[in-house]
Structures are given as structure tokens and as C-alpha cells.
Amino acid sequence: MDTDSCYYCKNTICFAKDRYLVRYSFPQRLTALEAELCTVASSDPSFASTILDAYTEHQHVKQNSAYHRLDVIDRCFSRRTVEDIISALEREFTQRPDDWISSTTQALKKASPSSLKISLRSIREGRLQGVGHCLIRDYRMVCHVMKGDLSKDIVEGCRAILVDKDMNPKWEPRRLEDIKDRMVDKFFERLEGLEDLKFPPRNNLRASSIAAKL
């Protein structure tokens, strides 16, 4: 399935494709979709695409959607570090001023530096892992964040936005360059005394067979 981007919406799985938003109903029809995909006996992606097409709803993408900036997103967010991504966005804005680029850059600069580095690491590693590994990694990350042993930025963010509402969080560390790789590594380590996330077996679904056909 050749898609340009994918994200989750409420009760749907959405793909941006061919200037349209392709929406797959979820979860009401997901079981039927999975069952049909399991019947595909060919590695030809066109067979799976035909089944997926039967479950789609096409909608026009709004003009201010990030989908219309996919070229900018590809150029900037493919950079290796968060610092490089922000610098690339700033250069892009000087060459082609755009409200979306400006607001995105400002949002990144206002966010917790720790959260930006952790999120980028998780996304990059997740591209090469299955959903099980991704969920375990994210579980470890969230546990560390909520425990506050490595960073208290989530508490500070809640204070600034929900409690005092001064919208002026004091992140620590406050600069991206002060966050080293080893600090980020710790967020993905197993917490002492806490078991990793475990999944019950799904005997009624061959998930690997579905993934192989997409």
C-alpha cells in the first residue's frame, strides 16, 4: 500500500494519499477487514489494496492541512537531531515564508526539550520495530516520565498550563544542547522492580500474515 502519511483519528485509521484523506473505519469494521486480509494468498500488494479500498472513505484535504507541506516535512524532519530539524525549518521559512512553518517552529521551541528528544528517538526506533516492541518501549518511556526520576517536565508542564496557567513552563534542562544521548537512553531502559508490558496471545488472528501483505 503506497501511502504518504498515516495517523490515528477517533475511531478511524487515516492515510493521506493522492490529495485525499483516505479514512479506514475503525474499530467497527476492523475485524472484518482483518479477516479479509488474512484470506489473501498472494504477496502482490494490489490484492490487499483492493480489499482496503472497499473500506475507505475519501475526503478532500483542507488547504491549511500539513499534507500540503509534505515536501517541507520530508526535507526538515528527516534531519538527524531535533536541533537540525528546527534549523532546517528556520531556513525553509526564510526561503518560503509560511504560517504553518512558522507555527511549527515556534511550537517546537516552546516544547520541553527532553520530550522532543525522547519523542524523536521513539519515532526513529519505531520505524524498524513491530508494534509489540513499540508498545513496550513507549510503556517504559511513559513510566519514567510519570515517575519523574529522570525529568520533572511533565509536572512543570501541568503546572504552567493547567494549574497556574501562566503558560511559561521552566523546563529542565532548558536547552536542547544540554540533553545528551545517554540521558535519552535512560528513558527507554526497563524500570527496576517493574515488569515490562506483556501481551496475551491472539490465537484468532495471524498478525504477521496481515503485515506481510501490506
Task: Give φ, ψ of 52 to 5 degrees.
Answer: -60, -40
Residue 96 lies in a domain: yes
User: What confidence tier does 202 reach under pLDDT thresholds 50, 70, 90?
Assistant: low
User: What confidence tier does 214 reach under pLDDT thresholds 50, 70, 90?
Assistant: very low
Return the pLDDT at 11.
42
User: What confidence tier does 9 reach under pLDDT thresholds 50, 70, 90?
Assistant: very low
Nearest to 109 by CA among 86, 84, 88: 86
Same domain, 117 and 177: yes
pLDDT over 80 (residue 88): yes
pLDDT over 50 (residue 99): yes
User: What confidence tier does 91 reach under pLDDT thresholds 50, 70, 90?
Assistant: very high
**CB-count burial class (<10 Å; 0-12, 13-18, 19+) for 193:** exposed
Residue 214 lies in a domain: no
Same domain, 51 and 34: yes
Residue 192 lies in a domain: no
Mean pLDDT score of the chain: 82
Among candidate residues 53, 76, 110, the one where a domain is terminated = 110
Query: Are the C-beta atoms of 87 and 109 separated by less than 8 Å?
Result: no
For the chain, the straight-line distance linking the first and the last C-alpha, in angstroms and rounded, comes to: 6
Same domain, 128 and 182: yes
Same domain, 11 and 23: yes
Same domain, 99 and 119: no
**CB-count burial class (<10 Å; 0-12, 13-18, 19+) for 213:** buried
Residue 201 lies in a domain: no
The span from the CA of 56 to the CA of 62, in Å, is 18
Segment 39-80, tens digit of pLDDT: 888 777 788 788 878 877 666 777 778 888 889 999 999 999
What total of structural domains would you count in the chain?
3
Return the pLDDT at 59.
66
Task: Establish whether the linkage from the previous residue to 113 is cis, with ω within 30° of 0.
Answer: no
Residue 213 lies in a domain: no
The domain of 151 spans 113-186
Same domain, 51 and 84: no
Same domain, 117 and 180: yes
Same domain, 118 and 79: no
Query: Are the C-beta atoms of 100 and 66 separated by less than 8 Å?
Result: yes
Same domain, 143 and 178: yes
Same domain, 100 and 124: no
Residue 179 lies in a domain: yes
Q: Is the full-model pTM beyond 0.75?
A: no
